[in-house]
Structure 1
Amino acid sequence: MSHDHDHGTMPMPMSPDSMYNNSMNMNDMAMHMNFFWGKDVVVLFDGWPNGRLGMYILALAFVFLLAVAVEILAAVPIKPRMRPLSGGLLQAAVYAVRMALAYLIMLSVMSFNVGIFIVAVAGHAVGCFIVKYRAIAAVYMAANDAPKV
């Protein structure tokens, strides 16, 4: 009876150059292991933004809008006259979309690019502001529309 098991190949140790730069090079793909500045980053899709400034700015805007959307979707109200099944399905669908967007943001931030990190946090803050502003404005309007006794 043989107890030999194939455990696959052992990972190659990092080269001294990659250890010095805190990045790993796997088949000519640099993977940063710490935060860095710059437009030379891969965000979500292979080859995007591909080191082009315009595409990097587009990636920043995309991550920002994803973060805003996550915060707004977190505050979707429950309609009082919905049937339980349809209401539950609608809430579950909104939750699924919100989680998918949140995971896309997380994967973007895992690029370790400082610009991506900043716009993700800023997007969450702006989204939170929008949600809270609308809630406070609704309470304020209701309080001011109430008849004075």
Structure 2
Amino acid sequence: MDEHMHGMGGMAPSPPSPLPPTANDTMGTMMHHKMMMHMTFFWGKDTDILFQNWPGGKSDMYILALVFVFVMSVFVQLLSHTRFIKPGSNHVAAGLFKTLLFAFRVGLAYLVMLSIMSFNGGVFLVAVLGQTLGFLITTFAFNKSPHDEGFDLPPISC
């Protein structure tokens, strides 16, 4: 083994520590498996999105979670490209409103990002579709074509 540690200054890596002993070995194994997190995309309803045990592996709750992520994604785009302040508005009130709107939009964007970090393929797809639909709605709402001056693919901001 020492010949394989050449260049490490004689320091061998320590072996991984075992799980702490528990009264019920089955429970310890279940806790260990529950704490594992996917690091690659996967398909299926057995995932946690945003909150522990939500949607909980139930099909109806998984669909609700997908709808929730989709709606959040649409709103992120709508809030990014909609003008709420009219010219001539009170400068201080407009500034406060813009600040609150910015905080709300950033919070939604981070929630969408955290949802995607579940590595669930369905969540990823609905997040992208929601952002796409939001962009499409704002394109038609402002009655601009993609070829109009001043309208280009907006930068992604979180």
TM-score, normalised by the number of residues in structure 1: 0.73
Amino acid at match of 2:70: F
Instruction: Give the ranges of 4+ consecutive aligned residues of structure 1 lying more than 4 Å apart after TM superposition.
Output: none
Question: 2:3 — aligned with what?
Answer: none
The 1:136/1:13 distance shift into structure 2, 3 A limit, reads: farther
Equivalent pairs, count:
119
Return the alpha-carbon distance in structure 2 between the equivalents of residues 72 and 104 of structure 1. Answer: 16
Pick from 73, 97, 103 the counterpart of residue 104 of structure 2: 97
Q: How far did residue 13 of structure 1 move?
A: 7.2
Instruction: Measure how far apart 1:26 and its partner are.
Output: 4.7
Partner of 2:66: 60
Give the drift of 1:30: 2.8
1:110 aligns with 2:117: yes
Instruction: Report the Cα distance in structure 1 between the residues aligned to 2:82 and 2:17, rounded to whole angstroms.
Output: 49
- Partner residue in 1 for 2:90: 83
Q: Distance in 1 between matches of 2:90 and 2:127?
A: 36
| Residue 138 (structure 2) pairs with residue 127 (structure 1) | no
RMSD, matched Cα: 2.4
Q: Counterpart of 2:101 in structure 1: which amino acid?
A: V
- What amino acid is aligned across from residue 109 of structure 1 in structure 2? I
Residue deviations 1:80-103 (CA, integer Å, cap 9, x gap): 121111101101111100000000
Matched, 1:71 2:77: yes
Q: Deviations over 1:105-138 (max 9, x none)?
A: 000000000000000000000000000111117x
Query: Take 1:88 and 1:100, find their aligned partners in 2: how far apart are those partners?
Result: 18
What residue ranges of structure 1 are gaps of 5+ in the alignment? 1-9, 15-24, 138-149
For structure 2, which runs of at least 5 residues remain unmatched after alignment? 1-13, 19-30, 145-158
| Contact 2:82 2:138 (C-alpha < 8 Å) held by counterparts | no
Equivalent of 2:38 in 14, 32, 40: 32
Name the aligned partner's letter for residue 40 of structure 2: N
| 1:133–1:26 distance in 2 versus 1, CA, 3 Å | farther
